A and B are shown apart, each in its own frame.
Chain A
Amino acid sequence: MVSPAIPAAARRDRLLVAAVAVFVGAMALFGGGYFVYLLNLIGIFSLVAIGLNILTGFSGQTSLGHAGFFAVGAYASGVLAQRFGLPFWLAIPVAGALATLIGAAIALPALRLKNLYLAIATLGFGIVTQKLIFEWRGVTGGGAGLQVPTPQLFGVPLAEGSRMTWIIWATLLAGTWAASQLASGRTGRALIMLRESEAAAGCIGIHVARYKVVAFALSAFYTAVAGGLYANLVRYINPESFSVNMSIMFLAMIVIGGLGSVRGALLGAAFYVAVPEAVRGFKEAPGLIFGISLMLVMILLPGGLISVFRRRKPARAAAAA
């Protein structure tokens, strides 16, 4: 159901965005190295979560191949910067555009697939992408990995301190705003309709195929931009990391946060980065504690972490779920 309360939700989004911006700004100014690094990762994975949410949360198409888009973004921007000397602020959008095209192309065969069939087909895309990066050694460096040059803005190297944090969170802010606009606008409503019933969406004049392609392309764009930022943050990328597990974790992230919610995407990304870090001290335990917390969140908060904030208005939570 399309809730009539969207303007109110949008206002709360703005509040949240402002709060997050103040928090991140303060942290970036006063916080120290490791904490800032975690903030950077949260920002990057939030972008992925928002992107995947457009596809899975809004339009209801499950993807287990988003590590592929993330890898395309990371490698395309890395290669453009390293071999062609493109500045990062140009390389990342180009990488994003490339991934958008790939996303739209992937959407075409995906039009007829549903549920687990779609999940496995997209998983196949992820595996093929990872393999191609491994074997295309001349360009990607193969298994030896790829060094990405230090990103610079107006001659200022961004590697030091919290400078990347500003770039990442500014991008996230823009991405969050755009996604909120999208969600409350015509496209968002069409995608939600698509999720609820393709047949009904078709009947009321929504071009099902076109909107599916749009969802895939937008989702790929967000994820690839995040990948590009990631490559510029860590400055050494290896195909090993863009595995099926990463795709699965992306999916876990958005469900934990709250499917179909832009703010939930941020919470999910924070959970995904922070919980394993918080329990790092225990030897074998991170996997165990993270695994158990995934189960607990799903059982206790079926609507994801975001439902904590929605408790007071259960009726609306049910309408938005």
Chain B
Amino acid sequence: MISQLIIGGLASGSLYALIGIAIVLVLQATEVPNFAQGEMAMFATFVAYTLLATYGLSWWLVFPATLAFAAVQGVIVQQVVIRPLLGAPIINAVIATLGLNLALHSIAGMIWGNQTNVLTSPVAHLPVFQLLGVNVSPDSALTIIVSVAMIILFTLILRHTRAGIALRAASQNQSVAKLMGIAVSRSFAMAWAMGAMAGAVAGMLVAPILFLDVNLMGALLIKGFAGAVLGGLSSLGAVFVGGLLLGIVENLLGAYVSGTFSEALSFTLIIVVLIVAPNGIFGRVKSQKV
């Protein structure tokens, strides 16, 4: 029973983690908490749905095509909405992403309507299997595997590629990075592209489990933020663990304490954790020059 719940929590937690990573990639680079992340991901998921359902393409084509769409989407958002706001107070960019969120929501409503759609999972035909005596649905397994793969991939890119190292330099100190010959704006565009891709993957993973409609990502976005903050915003690993923890805790509280209060209880828990550890569980305190 309890291991079943933990597996379920891991599956929803890895979705929170993916959204959290999408947010933190952008946050670390540009210091902007992206409130449009949810609707950007929803939009990309609808693109995947159109390619699958309307054009009848296979997942092998749809997945990379959607990722490419997400990357372009991220770059466009960075260049059109965020870049003019660099240098203005952060809160301005936050409100701009909020505006983008509303705009994307209603554009998606215009294109795809407000009805619910079914996005068939690529592993829908596989049976439920047993792992160490626990029933695991193929969707949960896929969600967990893909998210772990994504975080490993992103970490490798950030640590070992020139572009990734440039991005980290740019997020640490913009002006010094510029002096060292790094195209800061291009690095930021890359962060937005990576964030948008992580979000799109989360969207494609969650849509088959729930139904696909324009409200797909609303709750997930908040949970993504919450998980990221719980873990600590300083590293992708911390964000990932935070997301997983949130998923597991929520599932366990829902089953053992109170189903109706599980969300409220998890937020209460997050507040309590933040009182003890104001920078998240694994967060490092950023030292500040006075």
Contact = CB atoms under 8 A, between A and B. Distances in A.
**A and B are partners in one complex rather than unrelated chains:** yes
Interface stretch (A35-43, A81-89, A183-191, A247-255): A247-255
A25 interface: no
B199 interface: no
Interface residues of A, number: 44
A255 B92 contact: yes
Contact of B290 (A132, A199, A321): A199
B260 A135 contact: yes
B270 A128 contact: no
Contacts of B225: 116, 120, 123
Q: What does DSSP make chain A's interface, helix, strand, loop or mixed?
A: helix
A31 interface: no
Nearest to A255: B95
A56 B92 CA distance: 13
A292 interface: yes
Contact of B110 (A120, A135, A284): A284
A112 B271 contact: no
Interface size band for B = 35 or more
Nearest to A245: B218
A127 B290 contact: no
Interface in B93-145: 93-96, 98-107, 109-110
A242 interface: no
B91 to A, nearest CB: 5
B177 interface: no
Nearest to B261: A131
B106 A302 contact: no
Q: What does DSSP make chain B's interface, helix, strand, loop or mixed?
A: helix
Nearest to B84: A299
Contacts of A294: 95-96, 98-99, 102
A116 B35 CA distance: 12
Given A117-B274, A248-B35, A291 B106 contact: yes
A298 B110 contact: no
A293 B95 CA distance: 11
Interface string B56-96: 00000000000000000000000001001100110111111
B102 A256 contact: no
A121 B85 CA distance: 26
Counting chain A CB atoms within 10 Å of each CB, which of B35, B95, B104 scores highest? B95
B278 A124 contact: no
